[in-house]
Structure 1
Amino acid sequence: MERDIHSGYNDLMQVEMSVKTAQKMVGSATMSLDKEMLEGAKQAVADAHVRLTEARHQATGVDEPFLRRCEQELQQAEQQLNEALK
């Protein structure tokens, strides 16, 4: 009998990777102000928000400081992107 083993660690690493990707894309896009790069960064931020929300639904109390840090980093990237889009 095969069992599906769900690893919370992998979910957290996916959240971290998506936040880091969004940060890098926002940084590049806001430096270049290229319209396509800005749109890509916007999508990366949205994707990171989805991953973060999914992780929050499955989180244990131990994960909370990590998720809070990821959320703060994502908010900073989003603010930077919003400033560039003005």
Structure 2
Amino acid sequence: MSEPFNDIRQVEMAIKAAQRMVGQATMSMDADQLEAATDALAQAKNQYANALSHATGVDDKFFEFSSELIERLDHQLTEAKE
């Protein structure tokens, strides 16, 4: 019963870490920070996909919100790299 909670918590933590890194990287426009932010976002996407595969259906709003956040972060990074 605690496993879905752990999956959700891991997604939440990974997205928060990616948000911080993307914010810092896009403000500094440092190539190394942009790469680290890209890696953090990829990890958040992997955590999301893993948790979604174990979802029970009661967390639909969380997954919808998380998906939108990941999309925004991805767009922000893409814009910064162009």
Q: Same fold (TM over 0.5)?
A: yes
**2:18 is the alignment partner of 1:22:** yes
**2:9 is the alignment partner of 1:13:** yes
**2:65 is the alignment partner of 1:79:** no
Partner of 1:70: 66
Letter in 2 for 1:40: A
Q: Counterparts of 1:21 and 1:6 in 2: how far apart (Å)?
A: 22
1:30-54 Cα distance to aligned partner (Å, 9 max, x none): 0000000000000011111100000
Identity rate of aligned residues, in percent?
A: 41
Q: Where has structure 1 moved over 4 Å in runs of 4 or more? A: none
Q: Counterparts of 1:46 and 1:7 in 2: how far apart (Å)?
A: 22
User: TM-score normalised to the size of structure 2?
Assistant: 0.95
Q: Counterparts of 2:65 and 2:2 in 1: how far apart (Å)?
A: 23
Count of matched residue positions in the alignment of Structure 1 and Structure 2: 82
Q: Counterparts of 1:51 and 1:64 in 2: how far apart (Å)?
A: 16
SS in 1 for 2:58: helix
Q: Counterparts of 1:49 and 1:36 in 2: how far apart (Å)?
A: 20
Q: Counterparts of 2:74 and 2:60 in 1: how far apart (Å)?
A: 21
Larger Rg: 1
SS in 1 for 2:11: helix
Q: Can you give the 5+ residue segments of structure 1 that lack an aligned partner in the other structure? A: none
